[in-house]
Amino acid sequence: MVLIAALALVSATVPSLAQAQSEEAKRISEAVIVLSEIMEAGDQSVPRSILEKAEGIAVFPSLIKAGFIVGGQRGRGILSARDPKTGQWSSPAFLTITGGSIGAQIGAQAVDLILVVQNRRGLEQLVRNQFKIGADASVAAGPVGRDASASTDIQMRAQILSYSRTRGLFAGVTLNGSTIRQDRDANDRFYGMGYRTGQIVFDGRGGAPEPVGEWKAALDKYSR
């Protein structure tokens, strides 16, 4: 009877663990799709010259924003950092983004958000447990187009450049004040341990479960 009970417990647990891991894997696959589609958008893409110098790249697929006068947003994404010595990209750490805004806004939309970290200081700020956009590091809207570059004073001084692709209707929204946090629960589900963001992107913890290989291949393709 004890053996039967133990087997029943295992059989009930395995599907839930597999489902949890598949959710994190789906997040990585969606980030690959977002990055690939934006980079293949021609004149609306992130300039290769910017990605070639990037210290880190974060992608938040389908960030949801909605509101009427007072608005809010929430989403989940991933972040990888480039090794300054080898140029290799790390496995992704999981992140969440939350925040609110007040102003003339109405409606809802899904936003695919890409953050390109331009220097080590900006990356270290982003890797912290709690990162507030516009307060902990300077963030500016990045230039678009194959031949564009971060040429304006604001863009040159910014530690992070932001890019977004919207679907739906929304007006008067900003990411300033939004907070990015490490998603250690997702790290735990995917890597089998609740690593901190820095342990994954700086120390190489967690390994490279699928589809991490696809994510790294996409980063290599568009940043070299």
State the pTM of this model.
0.81
16 burial class (0-12, 13-18, 19+ CB within 10 angstroms)?
Answer: exposed
Domain boundaries, the chain: 17-223
Phi, psi of 86 (to 5 degrees): -100, -20
Helix ranges, 67-201 (H): 120-127, 153-157, 184-191, 197-201
The pLDDT assigned to 171 comes to 36
| pLDDT value of residue 138 | 74
Mean pLDDT by 10 residues, the chain (224 residues): 46 46 91 93 84 95 64 82 96 90 55 90 88 74 71 68 70 64 96 96 96 97 93
